[in-house]
Amino acid sequence: RLVRPDAILATNTSYLDPDAIAEAVPHPERVLGLHFFSPANIMRLVEVVRCDKTTLEVLATGLAVAKKLGKLPVVSGVCEGFIGNRIFSAYRREAEFLVEDGALPQEIDKAMEDFGMAMGPFAVFDLAGLEIAWARRKRQAATRDPAERYVEIADRLCEAGRFGQKSGKGWYVYPDGKRTVDPEVTSLIEGSRAAKGIQPRGIDAGEIVSRLLAAMAAEGDALLAEGIAQRASDIDLVMINGYGFPAHKGGPMFAAGRS
């Protein structure tokens, strides 16, 4: 009623299920995802999401549109977070495990920035806004395996209204816009460890980098096994162009010897 019968419908969603969107229209074969990375006027990366019923012609059109806009398109299948956000979620989880095990956010950020990342993970979380991942975790809470390790520190930050730079405080505080360690966060971390009976240990930069790279590569392996990503190099392109992974390191899959 609203568009031509042959119109292609593209969603820019980051986390909603494009297959569910497709099933709500008369011609699901004409639906795909075009996930532009923010800020879209600067970021080149676009995930072109192939839904279950998307035709090859529609997929090819999506790729052509992205290229015509001067973007770098990478094809992804449908899953929670597509390629990039799913890898980044694994990265976030491992970063939080490191905090619970004994490292501090500023130590983890320094290790990853020294490795070559544009920003460390906790600086990125604060920049993006902690409430986004929090909403996703709450949405998944009902289906989460109770035996699965879960770190609640980020939830406590959000409950305290610490949503990152936009609220002036998150994992860090930002007096005059400058990223600054907050003793309140350190105290919260220590309290969370104590409540779980975790004895923190010293974790050096080498272990931090190794564990975070391994987490990304393992999630990349799963994406390949599930057919969400077509090749390891596609994952590397996404992480370099969308998440600040150092290009000279080749991407997480290349760094792990996967491509």
Instruction: Report the alpha-carbon distance of residue 252 to residue 99 in Å, rounded.
Output: 21
Distance from C-alpha of 60 to C-alpha of 218, rounded to nearest angstrom: 29
DSSP 104-143: -HHHHHHHHHHHT-SS-HHHHHHHH-HHHHHHHHHHHGGG
User: Which listed residue (30, 35, 50, 179) is catalytic?
Assistant: 35
Q: How many CB atoms lie within 10 A of CB 120?
A: 25
Q: At what angle do helices 205-226 and 105-115 cross, to 10 degrees?
A: 70
Which residues on adjacent β-strands are paired with residue 48? Answer: 34, 75
If DSSP states are collapsed to H, E and C, what string results for 235-256? HHHHHHHHHCCCHHHCCHHHHC
Separation between Cα atoms, residue 235 and residue 83, nearest integer Å: 7
Identify the CA nearest to 2 among candidates 23, 26, 22. 26
Residue 35 falls in the annotated catalytic set: yes
- Which residue type is seen at 163? F
Catalytic positions, please?
35
